[in-house]
Amino acid sequence: MPARGAGGRTAPARRRAPHPGSNLPRLVSELNLILIGPPGAGKGTQAENLQADFGLPYIATGDMMRAKRQEDSELGREIARVIAAGELVPDDVVCKVLLERVDAEGDDGFLLDGFPRTERQADVLDQALERRGRKLTAVLLIEAADDVIIQRLAGRRVCSNGHVYHVDFNRPKHEGVCDIDGTKLVQRDDDKPETIEKRLAVYHDETEPLVARYEEAGLLRSFDGTRPPEEVHRHIRATLAVLRLEEDL
């Protein structure tokens, strides 16, 4: 019988990877997932849940590139040069760094957030996975309307120690002051309405076209990001359970 971890949860079985360089398909199911959706739709919350549920490495490209640029390596220095020049890191380089993490930690699957953002990046990812004999399990779309996103993000207030409040949903006891450490609460620049609108415009222009791509490929699964996070979590878990059952039939 499969081993059980703390709380009686069945621990995920280790999967044997094919020989490096092999393009043979894996015989045991894995969860290779992409999270997409507009900023503020709740992807971060669901990513934490999926990590806890399945032990998947969470690969957020923004965090990954910031960490890589600090490395004393040829690739790290190349990324640092590009970012210092104010340029975008080339898709091939981003995918190379991402696949390093997948190869090192993603034997049982992975959870991508922030990549792919464009059709070109999606092509690069597909080709890289195919060379490894791997494929995507599902693309999880967390949806929310623009006005909901703007209300969520524009209402956030944070203190210097990172404690988060909201002017409508999670007010501090004393306006403008953190309940925990007494420091001043501020609105971050990227939470200002004009900035949020720009981020949403980029999402609609560059990332939203991927929805049609993955829907046509039969990979897209959509979830209502305006529902309570616990409900969205249950829906995602049920969806992934069905996908695994279908794969085993």
Spell out the domain ranges in the chain: 27-146+207-248
Catalytic annotation present for 26: no
Q: 41 in helix, strand or coil? A: coil
Residue 29: what pLDDT? Answer: 66
At 151, list the tokens: 């209300």
Which residues of the chain register pLDDT less than 70? 1-29, 86, 248-249
Put simply, whether the predicted model's pTM sits higher than 0.85 gets the answer: no
From the options 3.40.50.970, 3.40.50.2000, 3.40.50.300, 3.90.220.20, give the CATH code of 27-146+207-248: 3.40.50.300
Catalytic annotation present for 188: yes
Q: 153 in helix, strand or coil? A: helix
Residue with tokens 């409900």: 231
Residue 62 C-alpha from the chain's centroid: 10
- C-beta of residue 46 within 8 angstroms of C-beta of residue 236: yes
Catalytic annotation present for 96: no
Q: Pick the catalytic residue from 69, 101, 156, 157.
A: 156
Q: Pick the catalytic residue from 26, 135, 199, 237.
A: 199
Residue 187: what pLDDT? Answer: 94
Catalytic annotation present for 4: no
- C-beta of residue 58 within 8 angstroms of C-beta of residue 109: no
Residue 32: what pLDDT? Answer: 94
Residue 81: what pLDDT? Answer: 85
Catalytic annotation present for 14: no
100 dihedral zone (left: phi>0; alpha: psi -120 to 50; beta): alpha
Q: Tell me how crowded residue 190 is: count the other CB atoms within 10 A of its CB.
A: 12
